[in-house]
Amino acid sequence: MMLRTALSSVLLAAILAPALAQSPVDIGLFRNGDKLEVKLRPGADFDGIVSSVVFTVRWDRNSGAALGTIQQTGAPAQYLPMMKSGAVRENGAFNYQVYAGFGMTPLADLEAAWRAGQEVVVASIPVTGKGEFEIINDAFTSEPATNANYYLSLGGRNLTGEIYKGLATAEEDGSISILPNPNNGQFTFLFSVRTPTDITVELVNSLGQAVYNDTQRAFEGTYRREMDLTSMSNGVYYLKVKRNGEESTHKVVYR
């Protein structure tokens, strides 16, 4: 009996060891054409067992948009298979779809590994119609009966990080990054311009008032700005970027 207990303790320690040295893992949602990409961003290198993940996608019910069947390819399909957790739920003006995944295969067995700070696409979700989709922790997902806030565990240990990019819109331009979004008033946005181009960048509040404006001639390279709106009211802001005579608008949520 003592030998069996000792062996069990050694085995448990071997399973938990990679997770004990691990940092929290963040999650993000990105638009890529007619699909949403779910990305995980680990805080440290990891090649153990991703035990479980839960996250919820929310969108405006009046938009007429809908989600298709979640898709996974490569190693993530083996070490963290995911599926819908129940049907679409309605609350207020929104639809909610909860997803869950459970893993038992170490990444190392699949010759896969996470690297600190590097995003990993673990799933994609087809979408139809135009709408704004968001990985969300709100009053509805926080209810004990719903129990659908973002959660992730490694080797059985809770290592839930942040939703570093929650919002993915139909008009989202993949070359423009806003991190984190939603945010606490502090965020970074950046984009790249490959050939010399006149650019105009403007950030406006919900009243249409500009809180940031910049115009540069023949700009080339990476445009990056650290923004701090903590002295202003929280709410929705819009980042407008004009390049090559074309303008794109991106929603920024300051909570």
The 10 Å Cβ neighbour count of residue 26 is 21
CA-nearest of 53, 36, 161, 163 to 99 is 53
Domain assignment of residue 103, yes or no: yes
Q: Do 147 and 73 belong together in one domain?
A: yes
Q: Do 132 and 184 belong together in one domain?
A: no
Mean pLDDT on 26-40: 90
- Where among 168, 197, 213 does a domain terminate? 168
Residue 110 corresponds to which tokens in the numbers above? Answer: 């699949």
Q: Residues of 120-156 as b/e, b for ≥16 C-beta within 10 angstroms? A: bbbbbbebeeebbbbbbbbebbeeeebebbbbbbbbe
Q: Do 123 and 190 belong together in one domain?
A: no
Q: What is the pLDDT of residue 153?
A: 97
Q: Does the structure show a pLDDT above 70 at 2?
A: no
Handedness of CA 185, 187, 192, 197 (dihedral sign): positive
Q: What is the pLDDT of residue 20?
A: 47
Distance CA 40, CA 25 (A): 7
Confidence of residue 245 (pLDDT cuts 50, 70, 90): confident
121-174: pLDDT as tens digits: 999 999 987 778 999 999 999 999 999 999 999 999 999 999 988 877 655 544
Q: For the chain, what percent of residues have pLDDT higher than 90?
A: 62
Q: Is residue 18 helix, strand or coil?
A: helix
DSSP for 103-131 reads: --S-GGGGT--B-TT--EEEEEEEEESS-
82-102: pLDDT as tens digits: 999 999 999 988 999 999 999
Q: Do 83 and 155 belong together in one domain?
A: yes
194 class by beta-carbon count within 10 Å (0-12 exposed, 13-18 middle, 19+ buried):
exposed
Q: Do 158 and 180 belong together in one domain?
A: no
Q: What is the CATH number of the domain that holds 163?
A: 2.60.40.680
DSSP state of 181: B
Distance CA 188, CA 181 (A): 9
Domain assignment of residue 219, yes or no: yes
Cα 131 to the chain's mean position, in Å?
A: 17
Q: Do 119 and 240 belong together in one domain?
A: no
Q: What is the pLDDT of residue 248?
A: 80
Q: Do 91 and 204 belong together in one domain?
A: no
- Where among 137, 168, 199 does a domain terminate? 168
Domain assignment of residue 127, yes or no: yes
Cis peptide, bond prior to residue 81, ω within 30 of zero? no
Domain range for 216: 176-254
Q: Do 56 and 161 belong together in one domain?
A: yes
Residue 88 corresponds to which tokens in the numbers above? Answer: 């679409």
Q: Do 163 and 181 belong together in one domain?
A: no
- Average pLDDT along the chain: 87
Cis peptide, bond prior to residue 106, ω within 30 of zero? no
* E strand or H helix at 8: helix 2-20
- Biggest CA–CA distance in the chain, Å, is 77
